Amino acid sequence: MSGPPGRSGRTPSMAARLGRAGVRDVARTERLLADAALTAVVPADADLPGLLGEVADPDLAALGLVKVADAVRPGPARTALVAALADPGPAAARLLAVLGASTELGNFVATHPNALLAVLDDEPATGVDAGAVRAELLGVVGADPAADVPVAEPGGPAGVDAMRVAYRTRLVRIAAADLVAEDPAQTMPQVAAALADLAAAALEASLALARAEMDDHGAGVRLAVIGMGKCGGRELNYVSDVDVVYVAEPCEGTPEDEAMVVGARLATSLARACSSVSGEPALWPVDAALRPEGKDGPLVRTLASHRTYYERWARTWEFQALLKARPLAGDAGLGAAYVEMTQPFVWSAVTREHFVEDSQAMRRRVEEHLPRAQADRQIKLGVGGLRDVEFTVQLLQLVHGRADETIRSGNTLTALAALASVGYVGRDHAAQLDQHYRFLRVMEHRLQLARLQRTHVLPTAEADLERLARSMGMRGADVLTERWRSTQRDVRHLHEEMFYRPLLPATAQLSTDEARLAPDAAKARLAAIGYRDPAGAVRHIAALTEGLSRRAAIQRQLLPVMLGWFADGADPDAGLLAFRRLSDTLGSTHWYLKLLRDSGNAAQNLSSVLSTSRYVADVLTRSPKSVMWLGDDAELEPRPHQVLWAEAEAILDRTEEPVAAAVALRALRRREMARAACAQVLAQVTEDRVAASVTTATDVVLAGGVRIARHQARHSLGLDQDPAQFAVVAMGRLGGQEMGYSSDADVMYVYDPVASADAAVAQEWAVQVAVMLRALLVDTAAEPPLELDTDLRPEGRNGPLVRSLAAFEEYYERWSSVWEAQALLRARPVAGDQDLGERFMALADPVRYPTGGLALADVREIRRIKARVEAERLPRGVDPARHVKLGRGGLSDVEWTAQLYQLCHAHEVVALRTTSTTGALDAAAEAGLLESDDVQVLRAAWELAMRVRDANVLWSGRTDPAHTNQLPHDRRTLVGVARAMGYGPGGGAALEEEYLRSARRSRAVVERVFYG
Amino acid sequence: MDRQQDYVLRTVEERNIRSLRLWFTDVLGVLKSVAIAPAELESAFTEGIGFDGSAIEGLTRVYEADMIAHPDPSTFQLLPWRGEKQVTARMFCDLFTPDGEPSAADSRQVLRRALARASEQGFTYYTHPEVEFYLFQTPVDPTNLIPVDCGGYFDHVVRSAGQDFRREAITMLEDMGISVEFSHHEAGPGQNEIDLRYADALTTADNLMSFRTIVKEVALEQGVFASFMPKPLSDHPGSGMHTHVSLFEGDSNAFYEPGAPLELSQVGRSFIAGLLRHAAEITAVTNQFVNSYKRLWSGAEAPSYICWGHNNRSALVRVPMYSPGKGQSTRVEYRALDSAVNPYLAFAVILAAGLQGVKNGYELPEGAEDDVWELTDAERRAMGIDPLPTSLDAAISVMQSSELVAETLGEHVFDFFLRNKRKEWADYRTQITAYELSRFVPSL
């Protein structure tokens, strides 16, 4: 093949021209263009390659053109085709654009060549009066557009096919105009409106066909088809389900139930006309799933029945859907009445029960940070996709539409513009979101046109992406992909900007361009996302953002998104308040503002801990520098003992004054507890790490405190040297390294006079050390005390506060009772002279690990004491099932069980010689003393109880036993505690059930293996 | 839902209903009733009716006395015995906490939860109970009960109070939309049986609550006294509530498999295996009173041993005779229940036990052909046939280590139930019975 004779030398070959036009299979296309059918209608010198260069898929367009040329018979269509191709202008461009963008529309034109006229004539495709379109489609089924109730004549399958052809013909017209538009994003709204009007006309014609099928044309019933979703919003795309709701009323003289039966038949038959198999392809599914009760509800209802449903049962999302309701077809008066009836519901939805939860769920969906798997290519439902834009707009409409009628449009872009013009969102932001929405819609339209398929997923093949890019006037798949990515990012970001930024008060606005909400509107928005005291929140926001300081400037940037993060926590109001306090304290500290502004996650971590944990909020307010940790995960790691001890030594070295030194030590402990708490709330550490952190800090404080106290005692007795060795023995949870935020330190004191010392002086000195240690660590000071509990010493409260090693030795030889042996199990030297500590443990070992185990009488005694403790120690009026320490299956049950096995078997099983409860349980399982299943149950219950205990402190900030030791009763507290433990929103009931179950199982094991 | 509500509101108006009873059931299966005026109905639907639940057995924890009852409009019925002048209707309620969570203590919610779990596995659950009860002459002297007649099994007793009674009771049941399958005179004097038609388990449980009320009402009208006590007369059979159960997958009976032995599918076989394996654990629920064990261990046809059989009237689980061509009616009869049961809890644990078998593919042991009562202890042991718990005490101790029952009832109901039953047993043990007095006073 070659070009026209005589030209080949001067112009590039046909092949080269086709190649330049983007044709992939040049040889095939060249053959196609020379097809006899085509040459019959195209002048020899027509610049087909030039035309092909403009379309999405030139190969496809060439093939389509041949098919059309082959199919068209002499007549007006053929005349128009010849004319258009003779002197290629806009008409030819439209035709090739359609053929190159859509296989399916190409096939349609080839099988219905008369549709060519719709592409080639100069009639407008968009901006056409909806009434005219309706009349056109009613006309083709032989119905009278002017009739109150149009009925098709004759109807039947032929009518259905005629309606479908007319629909497609107009669809081709719209697509043709759309595809050659200078700026498709600009004309997108008109295209979407034209598609919605066309769909409405098709529904009207289908209803006329449905009526024609009935003997009396369904005369007893008035039926209105209400559009929901995109069709309702008059922003339809090329192919999607058309969402509808049917409302019906009996005509006079027809009983209601009969009318409903007829109405349902009409609706069913109408949907069939649109979507069932017939001679012509189906249009789209008619989806009535948004009706009351969804798929389980009756297909049609009366107005009153709809009203009853919406009054009582509907959920937030249903009102969100109703926001777009618009009469599409059928009885216009009834349709209007329906919309009028539903509007008040839509605009008062914000006041209904569950709105906050529902809207939070909607909001979280848009704000989720992790892109969901596979969602990456989803234009509609993916991250930053169409649904996100629509949700953002609709949520704002629901929140503010109650007070403001001007923002109630069902059309996304109209509503967005209205929100901006009234100042609910920033103009710039609205304009950007508008552009993104248009881009996404054009992309969706082009995708759907290709095969007229309901698809929202970006293709993966390079060639497909390339074609899509070309159809949108972009050169290259890369350009398209890049634009899609940036749109995704921006939509998310804009949501935050639009939703939260306008909450800043007018005084905090940097430019007049930004939106600012009136106080009532701000309160409505805050209440909608879960703030319980919106008025208070408004005040805090104002205080945080007003003024010219650098702090205010940075907080103006940060606060909007933080408001959303607070709302994700269990107590948004408390989070915001704590943040304000913190900011007041830190003022314009340089690092603080820099941290919040620059650190990737500091601000979010801060929001999260402040709105989840009152305990952390308190400690952060007390030592604001701790906020620094939130920007650095390494800072949240527990500090090892030697690091803390080095710090304590430095404190002791540099601080002369004893009380000041002790206060500094207490501050160190508080800080480490705060670190553990932050890490725990942010789920960075496990429970045993928390216990280890708190214990380590306590160890260090005790060691330092003893050093100061010895010095003081020596000083007050006028001694040059210590007259004795002195050691603190840790007992209980401290000994077991299982401390929580609220644990006391159980201790015993032992001393041993040095050879040269007078025994009485040594004793007096040792008592002084103990008394001074308490004074230093417990007595009032700015820093929280470390409560010392010495009740576990021999003879309890009646025994001497300190004993010499010799006295201990004598006591244990002569008097020791089994509960003292039990208490010694968790003994561990923690402070003072290491050598003495070791000698004490050598003394304790034979007591706590008695050779041959326990005598039966002792086992009985332990069981008896435990039973009595259960009966007596539990506070009055407390449900035993909910007391995590003393209740059934709680901490004490598990610990006594572990300790009984230690007492009986530690003499032979060395691994049982541990101060750790879980360590002892594991050792017992390892040695085959306990079933490993039982140990699993006990461990699980013990760990959960520890977590509840700590979470009680984290949530409430209170450390008194009445609060820490019970699974909360109050539902709100329970939910908060559950959140602090990492349960999702509303996890209170789940936590309750899990704890009760775990404790019940644990108790069953305890009854078996402890009580025997 | 709203259609049903509309219907209820309309009916209340049209029928000039004067009073509405909101019914719910405490943890022990006792019917509770709150009366409201028709004017309150609409808000009862939208917001529920708040009440103080602290006085009701097992309903609330002491610290959250407030409960919200939401009437279920699909259970709306006129109460026929209230007559045409004082037209009264009832609805069953679901109970919620003030925060809108389903109440952990509501029996009906326990069954709903169990049904929801079954439905996650694609099953719906149908039950069909055969309720036995006694009619005694009034005034009733609990120490000397006199039955209204001396008839026996299927006896036609001429001009008997029982016959009139059954006719009247059935009419009333049918008036309330509760279909009756069958009724006849039972084996004991004054003992009657009425079988309800099969329905989904929640409806059946609701129907049983109505049934017991209706039977009591009709008895009152006819001057006799009806009792659902499991074993009122030591020399005559107790009042059981044999219950036929079946699972459906969509429209087809999941127990039915044509050509299989007894036409019983693998699901059916595993279901029975589950029932048998967990039978002892659920007995405290299916037989909840000290008196229940007097029936369970009275010999004769009482289902005291854990085994199954085909048409074996001594087995705990029976697979009734299959009628050719009636695949949909394949079912399993669980015979332990007595008429004083809390049907919500009992249906829930039976379902859970059976589904446990289905889920874990339990193997069905061999069926028992013999009358297990005729076997010696050693023979039963050799055949692997264990007894059911012999007393409430024994039943409690098996139940308290049952994860299955705890999971099904929920921790709250589980805990309450056990505490309540332990107390009942403790109270019972302190009694000096007439038997002891007559036996020991003369001789010791």
**Over the stretch B38-89, which tens digit does the pLDDT of each residue have?**
888 888 888 888 887 776 666 655 445 678 889 999 899 888 877 777 788 9
CA distance to B293, B317, B387, B394, per residue, from B390 (Å): 6, 18, 8, 6
CB contact under 8 A, B401 and A292: no
CB contact under 8 A, A293 and B101: no
Per-residue tokens: A12: 């590039």
Q: Which among A309, A989, A1004 has the least Cβ separation from residue B101?
A: A989
Average pLDDT (B131-140) is 92
Residue A379 contacts residue A444 (beta carbons within 8 Å): yes
CB contact under 8 A, A312 and B104: no
pLDDT at A783: 83
**Burial of B420: CB neighbours in 10 Å, binned 0-12, 13-18, 19+:** middle
Convert the pLDDT of each residue in A754-790 to its tens digit: 988 899 999 999 999 999 999 999 887 778 889 999 9
DSSP character string of A679-720: HHHTT-S-HHHHHHHHHHHHHHHHHHHHHHHHHHHHHHHT-S
- Among candidates A660, A551, A659, which has minimal Cα distance to A595? A551
User: For B102, phi and psi rounded to 5 degrees?
Assistant: -55, 135
SS3 B44: helix
CB contact under 8 A, A305 and B6: yes
A819 contact B CB<8A = no
Distance, CA of B165 to chain centre: 21
Distance, CA of B254 to chain centre: 23
SS3 B182: strand
Q: Which among B63, B100, B412 has the least Cβ separation from residue A969?
A: B63
Cβ pairs bridging A and B (under 8 Å): 48
CA A992 to chain B, closest CA, distance in angstroms equals 9
Distance CA A18, CA A403 (A): 60
Chain A partners within 8 Å of B63 (Cβ): 969
Convert the pLDDT of each residue in A163-197 to its tens digit: 999 999 999 999 999 999 989 999 999 999 999 99
Distance CA A16, CA A36 (A): 22
A653 contact B CB<8A = no
- Among candidates B224, B227, B219, which has minimal Cα distance to B289? B227
Interface test with B, best of A310, A311, A936, A1005 (most B CBs within 10 A): A311
Distance CA A632, CA A628 (A): 7
Cis peptide leading into A154, omega within 30 of 0?
A: yes
What sign does the dihedral A514-A388-A487-A56 (CA atoms) show? negative
pLDDT at A453: 87
DSSP character string of B90-105: EEEEEEE-TTSPBPTT
DSSP character string of B289-348: STTHHHHHTS-TT---B--EEES-TTSSEEEPPPPTT-GGG--EEE---BTTS-HHHHHH
| AA identity, residue A139 | G
β-bridge pairing B332-334 and B241-249: antiparallel
Q: CA triplet A451, A455, A460: central angle to 5 degrees? A: 90
Buried/exposed code over A833-844 (b: 16+ C-beta within 10 A; e: otherwise): beebbebbbebb
Distance CA B429, CA B424 (A): 9
Per-residue tokens: B187: 């084996």
β-bridge pairing A745-753 and B332-334: unpaired
- What parts of chain A have a pLDDT lower than 70? 1-11, 362-375, 506-515, 600, 684-685
**Burial of B261: CB neighbours in 10 Å, binned 0-12, 13-18, 19+:** exposed
Distance CA A504, CA A518 (A): 10
Tokens 């541990």 correspond to A914
Q: Which among B1, B64, B104 has the least Cβ separation from residue A313?
A: B1
- Among candidates A785, A764, A759, which has minimal Cα distance to A774? A785
User: For A561, phi and psi rounded to 5 degrees?
Assistant: -75, -30
User: For B318, phi and psi rounded to 5 degrees?
Assistant: -125, 140
Distance CA A89, CA B95 (A): 74
Residue B45 contacts residue A311 (beta carbons within 8 Å): no
- Among candidates B230, B240, B254, which has minimal Cα distance to B129? B240
Residue A959 contacts residue A971 (beta carbons within 8 Å): no
β-bridge pairing B191-196 and B124-137: antiparallel
| AA identity, residue B177 | G
pLDDT at A177: 94
User: For A160, phi and psi rounded to 5 degrees?
Assistant: -60, -50
SS3 A510: coil
User: For A788, phi and psi rounded to 5 degrees?
Assistant: -105, 130
Distance CA A272, CA A156 (A): 11
Look at chain B and count its residues.
444
Q: Which among A971, A993, A1001 has the least Cβ separation from residue B410?
A: A993
What sign does the dihedral A698-A704-A710-A716 (CA atoms) show? negative
A73 contact B CB<8A = no
pTM for the full predicted model:
0.73
Strand partners, B129: B243
Distance CA A125, CA A702 (A): 86
**Burial of A546: CB neighbours in 10 Å, binned 0-12, 13-18, 19+:** middle
Tell me what percent of the residues of chain B surpass a pLDDT of 70: 93
Q: Which among B2, B61, B99 has the least Cβ separation from residue A292?
A: B2
Buried/exposed code over B422-442 (b: 16+ C-beta within 10 A; e: otherwise): eebbeeeeeeeeeeeeeeeee
List, in order, residues 6 or more apart from A801 with CB less than 8 Å away.
Answer: A749, A767, A770, A771, A790, A793
Q: CA triplet B350, B354, B358: central angle to 5 degrees? A: 160
Strand partners, A832: A727
Chain A partners within 8 Å of B6 (Cβ): 305, 308
- Among candidates A159, A124, A125, A129, which has minimal Cα distance to A141? A159
- Among candidates B271, B269, B304, which has minimal Cα distance to B386? B304
List, in order, residues 6 or more apart from A632 with CB less than 8 Å away.
Answer: A599
Complex ipTM more than 0.90, yes or no: no
Distance CA A453, CA A240 (A): 8
- Among candidates A472, A445, A457, which has minimal Cα distance to A239? A445
SS (H, E, C) A944-966: HHHHHHHHHHHHHCCCCHHHHCE
CB contact under 8 A, A308 and B6: yes
Distance CA B230, CA B221 (A): 23
CA A943 to chain B, closest CA, distance in angstroms equals 19
Closest residue on chain B to A999 (Cα): B411
Strand partners, B66: B52
Please say if the pLDDT value at position B324 is more than 50: yes
- Among candidates B356, B327, B348, which has minimal Cα distance to B121? B356
Distance CA B284, CA B391 (A): 9
Return residues 307-346 of A near B (CB < 8 Å): 308-309, 311-313
A993 contact B CB<8A = yes
Chain B interface with A: residues with Cβ < 8 Å: 1-3, 5-6, 45-46, 61, 63-64, 97-101, 104, 400-401, 403, 406, 410-412, 414-415
**Per-residue DSSP letter, A815:** T
